[in-house]
Structure 1
Amino acid sequence: MKNDIDSILESMFRGGRLHFKSTGELKHARPAPPVPDKGQPPLEGALQAQQQAGQALGAVEQVNDGLSRSLQESIERLTQEARADMEGLQRRLEQDGVDNQERAANSGSPADMDKAFDIARQETARQVLGQEKFIEALALAFKRPFVAGAGKESPLCRAAVLGGTGTGRHSAIKAMTASLGRQGVLKSPKTAALDLSAYHTPGMEKLFVQDLYAALKGGAAALLFENYEKCHPSVLSMASSLFRQGEVALPGRYVEQKGILADIGTALAPGAVSTLSAGGKYLFLVAGKSEAGLGDAFGAPFLSALDDVLYTEDFTREALGQIAQNALLELRSRAEKQLSLALSFGEAEKEALAGVYTPAQGAGAIDNEAQRLYKAYSEEKLRKSITGPWQGRLAAKDGALSAFYTWEGGETEVRLPGTEGLGVQQAALEQVKKELEEIVGLGPVKDYILSLEDNFKIQQMRKARGLKADSPSMHMIFTGNPGTGKTTMARIVARYLKAIGLLSGGQLVEVARADLVGQYVGHTAPLTQKAIQAALGGVLFIDEAYALYRGKDDSFGLEAIDALVKGMEDNRESLVVILAGYSREMEEFLTANSGLRSRFPHIIEFPDYSPEELWEITQGIVNGKGYRMDEACKAPLLQYFERMGQNGERDKGNGRMARNKVEQAVIACSRRNMKEPEEKRDLELLLPEDFDLE
């Protein structure tokens, strides 16, 4: 049975539309006559019925007013949300390159389609200079499925885009997609990029699945994959499957929930997702110049599945000049608009800017230099509180650009950002070299350390000229007896490699077996990985590394070695590992894992110090403690060092022995001076009798 509220709602929403009655209509509505109580007098029954009717009418008015306000608020809220969504969509479209340029009236006819692709080629060529052949081939790759057709569940295009760094591979794909999407040829102007180097360790398949799902469902018309060389093989095989088969089999059971894939394990659920399809998408793999590398990484089936292999070309001198010209015009426009700076430059400055191009950095080097100039002028305006219009001038000298400005009379040269950093880096390098020179002995070791800088500089030069640059392994093994300077040299190597630009951090993390080997199953690998993470950007120094391997039955030690080898492989460009220990024991240690010896090509022997070197070390330690030695100390100390070296013990003939002797002498000096009268005390002088040389 329906009550009064049901009847009201039914009348308000009859026919699927909302109907309101005015308050006046409700007041004149005739309520249903009440049923009189036979036990009441007629007059009292009528009054009571009238009161009930009035209360019912009031309740109806309140419900009507409440519903009206609620509905009005809901309509306003939905309108605001819709407006915000439209504004957000417009911003995203603008960021993706959608503008008010010419549109082709794309009705699907061949003429309109041809016009749309002509416009896309022109717009892409305005953004990517000097790559006319590549842009033409890229346009054909986009157009092919419209001519030849494509399956509903298949990618529209599967292409590899090969070329050098900074040759416009990414920019051209994004510009072409944006233009065709704006014109209605593609469903979206958006390109989604997935950096495969982010999935470089085992167990990252699920993360890749989530990122791929977001890219596929995010409305992008094209998917761009890059840095496959640094991708873990397990994820690389999934990317290969996407190109070859148009879909990826998921590593588990998933369901779609609130725009993400949720792993449901073994649970049963309706609508479970087992694959991700790239149907209707353009797939591009961006890689270096060599097609052979693709075959090695993905195999022949991958190459045969590609619809296109596109190549960018090295820039010509004319193209670089045009890129530099555009960069300078953009710099002048930005400086005038933002800084009120009138910037002037000429042909020589354009040539100088084009000259900063290197094959390793690509055209991005030109944009970076223009950005550096802009930053220099903006910092000058900020620091000098320059107001009003001012004049700027670029000048080329010896192939390098300088920046000047005129304000309130004289002309001032602008200090370009980055030059201070070079000075600091050079000062740090000189300081490390000075410390290296001050170390007594170890001539062959020093020569090897200094040779690292020469090799690094040559490889940088080769890279700048577009030649293949080798990145040799920097891992080392220091062998020798205790106290021969291995730890000290490791600290210097860490700072030295940072100073020459090979390492970003330069820290030295010293560990031993106890820091890497756990006490129970499953404890060792996390400990080793923690040490590796702490050393990234610097040097991991493992003293007495042979202690990690105590025989084939030492499963925990072997696990630590395996984790160490894996960490070295995964962090080749950001980690240097130095092992130290006795020569014979380290040779046995290298047999613990088949990959150890090949990863440590540099085995550096630290010889025992000669008696003369130990005398120099002793002098340095004494001076460092604020003492001096009597001249009579030299002969007995040299004899003592010679005698100790002849004993053949591995802990003799080293710097640690010299340090111990000095510390003993300092204590003996204090004891001796306490016995002397105050006027005869010399608190700085060490005598031969202070050294226990028996």
Structure 2
Amino acid sequence: MKNDIDSILNSLFSGGKLHVGENTQSRAAREAEEFLKSIEQKDRRIGDSLNRQLGDLEKINSEAQKSMEEMRRLLENDAVPAEKQPEEAEEKPIAKGAEEPPRDVAQSFSAAREAAGGTVIGQDAFLDSLFTAFRRPAVTGTAEGKPAAVIVISGREGTGRHSALAVTASSLAKEGALKNGRVARVDLTLYPNAEDGKLLTQDLFSALQSESDVVLFEHFEQCHKSLLPMLASLAETGSLQLSTRYALQKGMLIDVGTALVPNAVSELRLNGQYLVFLTDQKDAVLADAFGAPFLAVVTDFCRTDAFTQESLVKIGHATMEALAKRCAERLQFTIAFGEDAAKHLAAQFSPKDGVESIDRVTERAFRLLSEEKLRRSASSLSGEARVEDGALAFVFPDFTVTVGEEKQTVNQAAVEAVKAEMDRIVGLQSVKDYVLSLEQNYVIQRLRESRGMKADVPTMHMIFTGNPGTGKTTIARLVSRYLKAMGVLTGGQLIEVTRADLVGKYVGHTAPLTQQVIRSAIGGVLFIDEAYALYRGADDSFGLEAIDTIVKGMEDNRENLIVILAGYSREMEEFLTANSGLKSRFPNIIEFPDYTAEELLKITRITVENKGYTLSPDCDAPLTAYFDRRQKADARTAGNGRMARNLVEDAILNQSRRLTAGDVSALTKETLETLLPEDFELE
């Protein structure tokens, strides 16, 4: 701009004189005038922009003043905003203290107890103690930041512990004594290893942030003992100091070590939840696991009782009512029933499975009745449930549905097929005798159970020891098919793995990898070849983690999973010391002996026949001598049956070379299919 002004001034002044007058409208003057006008326009635009901004600021300031005046008015008049009128405002929590709660709170607990009693049958004393435990904080008060209460629920499986807790929490929520009645469940069987601490931390965080009224911990005895202090800390202090720093990302805790991050989480805190520990163990076991300080903060011990016959009949009656209602709503079948049907269901109760054993009968009945509904066009029918010939029968005008005892069926044809295949296996008579004994024992134990006698199907997990090539994998495959045919297993598949399939490559990888393998084997047989390779000494943390996970998987699926370990005899003895629970879980150790020379000759002959060839009688003597020499030298490395099969493969190739060396057109069928001594390399 400075250069433009200088140019204009130079044009107006020359020789020290101002050139004006008649030359005022000269070119230089016009340029100066235009320049001044442009400056004025720019100034005007800048001024307009500033005026607009000032106007916006004044408007914002005015609105802010109005908001402040409204807030001041609300505070002075103690007014409630329109969006939350008094009748819609959140109910204030009951003040904590040691005084007896108001009458309406007591009435809420009383109404909830009455409602729960209509659902939970046969556990009146337990239910009373459970409601007392939940009411205690309202009477005695709780310290800030501590759990509302710490409750231990004990008793045998199948006595309604889970259902009673769920019904209690739900009924209290309906009466307004709890926020929502939800129960967050933490299954401690998921943390069998010391390395699972971070996973447990994540799950505890999720449970505490879920806003559930109750956090339920189950199976503490299967959690690694080094992790139990985490739970004890929550119960005793209401908080858990974390050993490392975590960052919260998308609702998940992310381990950030010592990094400084915003909103880092260094501890977990309770939000006034009830902590419930459920177990079937005695109090002494609980004390040994958690310690005396933990027991000191337990507010209530609630224990279920064994069901009486009277309570079982009531449960049977309630179950039949539920079935009748379901049939009326879904099938349009109206079903009447009497006391005999309720007593029949009560007789189906199994202490092992609990009330679920009764539910299975009615579920089976509903499936059968549904099939009749699909086959018939009638929109509605009326019938009666009664007991006929020891079975529950649903009698309608035109048909009867009988719900007999649900048994695991035996596929006799499949059993015989496996036996026939086993007979064709050379040698291993002691092994085959053991496998066949599984059926005999299983049949007797099931017969005892059906007659009300004590039945105990023995552990079928096995260890196969012996040198390579002795038929371990073949027998394992037959065992899986055999147990499936007998009805012991539901799938019958054989999952064959080694260390490489079970042990991960980094920390935290092994347990999920092993669990995935176990899941694929449920219903069948998990065969771990060279199992001793899983244990490479006390410093092999990955291998030990895999072993611990396998032991837990066996326990969790003991009725539908068979695990067979295979390996050398000496190495397998050392392997059993890797975990204290291994030896007791594998009582069946079956030794696979090395094949004799005569047995190897039989295997050779069978292999030759299966491939469409015949073995010349002249081969018997040299093959027997060869097998005898190899087995005496080192049966462990000779290969046993594998050696015989490999020998046949090589002989077939050698025969082809021998025959193609002459006139191929002159070869006869007998010549083409016969293996001679010179075809075998026996040196």
Asked if Structure 1 and Structure 2 have the same fold, meaning a TM-score greater than 0.5 normalized by the shorter chain, the answer is yes
For 2:15, the equivalent position in structure 1 comes to: none
For 1:129, the equivalent position in structure 2 comes to: 121
Larger displacement relative to structure 2 (640-649 or 318-327): 640-649
1:565 corresponds to which letter in structure 2? I
Structure 1 residues 246, 12: CA separation in 2 closer, same or farther (over 3 Å shift)? closer
Structure 2 counterpart SS, 1:127? coil
For 1:479, the equivalent position in structure 2 comes to: 466
For 1:656, the equivalent position in structure 2 comes to: 642
Larger displacement relative to structure 2 (462-471 or 442-451): 462-471
1:492 corresponds to which letter in structure 2? L
Once residues 322 and 433 of structure 2 are traced to their aligned partners in structure 1, the CA distance between those partners, rounded to angstroms, is 49
Contact 1:666/1:686 (<8 A) preserved: no
Structure 1 residues 286, 429: CA separation in 2 closer, same or farther (over 3 Å shift)? farther
Instruction: Identify which of 221, 229, 235 aligns with 2:221.
Output: 229
Instruction: Identify which of 417, 425, 429 aligns with 1:439.
Output: 425
1:231 corresponds to which letter in structure 2? C
Alignment of 1:675-690 (within 5 A): 680-682=668-670, 686=674
Aligned: 1:388 with 2:379: yes
For 2:301, the equivalent position in structure 1 comes to: 309
Once residues 120 and 581 of structure 1 are traced to their aligned partners in structure 2, the CA distance between those partners, rounded to angstroms, is 60
Once residues 163 and 329 of structure 2 are traced to their aligned partners in structure 1, the CA distance between those partners, rounded to angstroms, is 26
Contact 1:320/1:354 (<8 A) preserved: yes
Contact 2:614/2:675 (<8 A) preserved: no
1:478 corresponds to which letter in structure 2? T
Structure 2 counterpart SS, 1:159? strand
Aligned: 1:625 with 2:611: yes
Structure 1 counterpart SS, 2:276? strand
Once residues 167 and 179 of structure 1 are traced to their aligned partners in structure 2, the CA distance between those partners, rounded to angstroms, is 20
For 1:509, the equivalent position in structure 2 comes to: 496
Shift of 1:128: 0.6
Number of equivalences: 596
Aligned: 1:411 with 2:399: yes
Once residues 573 and 60 of structure 2 are traced to their aligned partners in structure 1, the CA distance between those partners, rounded to angstroms, is 90
For 1:366, the equivalent position in structure 2 comes to: 358
1:325 corresponds to which letter in structure 2? H
Structure 2 counterpart SS, 1:249? strand
Structure 1 counterpart SS, 2:133? helix
Once residues 203 and 615 of structure 2 are traced to their aligned partners in structure 1, the CA distance between those partners, rounded to angstroms, is 69
Contact 2:462/2:588 (<8 A) preserved: yes
Structure 1 residues 469, 198: CA separation in 2 closer, same or farther (over 3 Å shift)? farther
- Superposed CA deviations along residues 229-275 of structure 1, whole A, max 9, x for unmatched, are 33233432211222233322233334667766565543446765543
Structure 2 counterpart SS, 1:571? helix
Once residues 578 and 526 of structure 2 are traced to their aligned partners in structure 1, the CA distance between those partners, rounded to angstroms, is 19
Contact 1:644/1:652 (<8 A) preserved: no
Structure 1 residues 305, 593: CA separation in 2 closer, same or farther (over 3 Å shift)? closer
Instruction: Identify which of 392, 414, 417 aligns with 1:401.
Output: 392
Once residues 266 and 638 of structure 1 are traced to their aligned partners in structure 2, the CA distance between those partners, rounded to angstroms, is 70
Shift of 1:144: 2.5
Contact 1:484/1:607 (<8 A) preserved: yes
Aligned: 1:321 with 2:313: yes
For 1:295, the equivalent position in structure 2 comes to: 287
Shift of 1:113: 3.9
Structure 1 residues 496, 304: CA separation in 2 closer, same or farther (over 3 Å shift)? farther
Once residues 467 and 302 of structure 1 are traced to their aligned partners in structure 2, the CA distance between those partners, rounded to angstroms, is 38
For 2:517, the equivalent position in structure 1 comes to: 534
Question: Which consecutive unaligned segments of at least 5 residues does structure 1 have?
Answer: 20-77, 90-106
Shift of 1:125: 1.0
Alignment of 1:80-91 (within 5 A): none
What TM-score, normalized by structure 1, do the two folds share?
0.70
Contact 2:496/2:526 (<8 A) preserved: yes
Shift of 1:398: 5.1
Instruction: Identify which of 595, 614, 620 aligns with 1:609.
Output: 595
Contact 1:152/1:279 (<8 A) preserved: no
Once residues 328 and 411 of structure 2 are traced to their aligned partners in structure 1, the CA distance between those partners, rounded to angstroms, is 34
2:291 corresponds to which letter in structure 1? G
Alignment of 1:536-575 (within 5 A): 536-538=519-521, 541=527, 543=529, 561-573=543-555
Contact 1:476/1:600 (<8 A) preserved: yes
Structure 2 counterpart SS, 1:508? strand
1:568 corresponds to which letter in structure 2? I
Shift of 1:611: 4.8
Aligned: 1:16 with 2:67: yes
Larger displacement relative to structure 2 (445-454 or 359-368): 445-454
- Superposed CA deviations along residues 375-415 of structure 1, whole A, max 9, x for unmatched, are 33334434x37351134554545544355666xxx426489
Structure 1 residues 167, 264: CA separation in 2 closer, same or farther (over 3 Å shift)? same
Percent identity over the alignment is: 39
Shift of 1:147: 3.0
Shift of 1:285: 0.8
Once residues 672 and 258 of structure 1 are traced to their aligned partners in structure 2, the CA distance between those partners, rounded to angstroms, is 74
Once residues 456 and 537 of structure 1 are traced to their aligned partners in structure 2, the CA distance between those partners, rounded to angstroms, is 25
Question: Which consecutive unaligned segments of at least 5 residues does structure 2 have?
Answer: 1-50, 71-81, 91-98
Once residues 577 and 188 of structure 2 are traced to their aligned partners in structure 1, the CA distance between those partners, rounded to angstroms, is 34
What is the RMSD of the two structures over their aligned residues, measured on CA atoms? 4.8
Contact 1:243/1:305 (<8 A) preserved: yes
Instruction: Identify which of 154, 167, 180 aligns with 1:162.
Output: 154
Shift of 1:214: 3.5
Aligned: 1:243 with 2:235: yes
Once residues 559 and 259 of structure 1 are traced to their aligned partners in structure 2, the CA distance between those partners, rounded to angstroms, is 31
Contact 1:610/1:653 (<8 A) preserved: no
For 1:489, the equivalent position in structure 2 comes to: 475
Once residues 357 and 625 of structure 1 are traced to their aligned partners in structure 2, the CA distance between those partners, rounded to angstroms, is 56
Structure 1 residues 425, 649: CA separation in 2 closer, same or farther (over 3 Å shift)? same
Contact 1:509/1:541 (<8 A) preserved: yes
Contact 1:167/1:362 (<8 A) preserved: yes
- Superposed CA deviations along residues 427-447 of structure 1, whole A, max 9, x for unmatched, are 666654443343222122223
Structure 1 residues 466, 274: CA separation in 2 closer, same or farther (over 3 Å shift)? farther
Once residues 226 and 112 of structure 1 are traced to their aligned partners in structure 2, the CA distance between those partners, rounded to angstroms, is 34
Shift of 1:314: 1.3
Structure 1 counterpart SS, 2:171? helix
Structure 1 residues 535, 368: CA separation in 2 closer, same or farther (over 3 Å shift)? closer
Contact 2:111/2:175 (<8 A) preserved: no
For 1:53, the equivalent position in structure 2 comes to: none
Contact 2:502/2:517 (<8 A) preserved: no
- Superposed CA deviations along residues 551-603 of structure 1, whole A, max 9, x for unmatched, are x8x98xx5665454344344343676655455456667778999987876554
Structure 1 residues 349, 429: CA separation in 2 closer, same or farther (over 3 Å shift)? farther
Larger displacement relative to structure 2 (320-329 or 454-463): 454-463
Larger displacement relative to structure 2 (255-264 or 282-291): 255-264
Shift of 1:622: 3.6
Contact 1:250/1:274 (<8 A) preserved: yes
1:509 corresponds to which letter in structure 2? E
Larger displacement relative to structure 2 (317-326 or 498-507): 498-507
Contact 1:529/1:563 (<8 A) preserved: no
1:476 corresponds to which letter in structure 2? I
- Superposed CA deviations along residues 637-691 of structure 1, whole A, max 9, x for unmatched, are 7854775477444156932344345445655766569868769533786476576
Once residues 548 and 329 of structure 1 are traced to their aligned partners in structure 2, the CA distance between those partners, rounded to angstroms, is 54
Shift of 1:145: 2.8
1:390 corresponds to which letter in structure 2? L
- Superposed CA deviations along residues 502-522 of structure 1, whole A, max 9, x for unmatched, are 68674332437x77899xxx6
Structure 2 counterpart SS, 1:509? strand
1:370 corresponds to which letter in structure 2? T
Contact 1:615/1:634 (<8 A) preserved: no
Shift of 1:186: 3.4
Structure 1 residues 683, 528: CA separation in 2 closer, same or farther (over 3 Å shift)? farther
Structure 1 counterpart SS, 2:379? coil
For 2:332, the equivalent position in structure 1 comes to: 340
Instruction: Identify which of 176, 189, 195 aligns with 2:181.
Output: 189
Larger displacement relative to structure 2 (523-532 or 324-333): 523-532
Shift of 1:178: 2.5
1:401 corresponds to which letter in structure 2? L
Aligned: 1:448 with 2:434: yes
2:240 corresponds to which letter in structure 1? V
Structure 1 counterpart SS, 2:145? coil
